[in-house]
């Protein structure tokens, strides 16, 4: 993704759109962490255009919460870079329409994601298959997770 240390919603959506080209019934979207939001925001644009992908796999993410600026600042430590990701709403109906078969994978000990809250928000918005794994952290370099069979199965199965 462009500028991962200073992510801009519009730039990330445009980047994904450029990679995907014209989505079809074989297109599989996979997002991790903030990339889940980027994927959902991209899917929102597809849903607006009446398009969809075959599958969506979201790992260690949460549905964009549409916080107030004060709530976003409390969550992000006042980050002006992350604030838009937490305050800009997403149309769940459009995302759901475009997401195809959706799977969400979370870990019960993720230090960044409130797993119960994330699972509940996904159930209410996208109604995906939700997998909650044990002891996988945030599925990043801070953990010993180097493979994610559940994601592979969701994408290819």
Q: How many CB atoms lie within 10 A of CB 143?
A: 16
pLDDT attached to residue 28: 98
**Residues 6 or more apart in contact with residue 53 via CB below 8 angstroms:** 20, 23, 24, 27, 28, 29, 43, 46, 98, 99, 100
Q: What's the confidence (pLDDT) of residue 75?
A: 86
Task: State the CB neighbour count (10 A cutoff) for residue 96.
Answer: 20
CB atoms within 10 A of CB 148: 20
- Taking only the tens place, the pLDDT of each residue in 124-145 is 999 999 999 999 999 988 888 8
Q: Which residues of the chain have pLDDT under 50?
A: none
Q: How far is CA 141 from CA 1, 9, 70, 118, 136, in A?
A: 17, 24, 30, 21, 11
Report how far residue 122's alpha carbon sits from residue 103's, in angstroms, rounded to the nearest whole number.
10
- Express each pLDDT in 26-36 by its tens digit: 999 999 999 99
Give me the pLDDT at residue 66, please: 84
Which DSSP string corresponds to 137-148?
Answer: TTSSTTSS----
- The structure's pTM equals 0.94
């Amino acid at each position: 993704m462009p500028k991962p240390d200073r992510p801009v919603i519009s730039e990330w959506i445009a980047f994904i759109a450029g990679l995907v080209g014209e989505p079809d019934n074989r297109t599989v979207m996979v997002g991790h962490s903030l990339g889940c939001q980027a994927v959902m925001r991209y899917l929102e644009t597809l849903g607006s255009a009446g398009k969809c992908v075959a599958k969506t796999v979201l790992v260690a993410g949460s549905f964009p919460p549409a916080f107030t600026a004060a709530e976003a600042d409390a969550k992000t430590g006042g980050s002006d870079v992350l604030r838009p990701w937490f305050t800009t709403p997403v149309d769940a109906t459009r995302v759901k329409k475009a997401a195809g078969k959706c799977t969400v994978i979370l870990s019960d000990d993720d230090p960044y994601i409130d797993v119960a809250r994330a699972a509940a928000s996904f159930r209410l918005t996208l109604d995906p298959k939700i997998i909650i794994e044990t002891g996988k952290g945030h599925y990043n370099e801070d953990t010993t997770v180097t493979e994610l069979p559940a994601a592979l199965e969701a994408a290819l199965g």
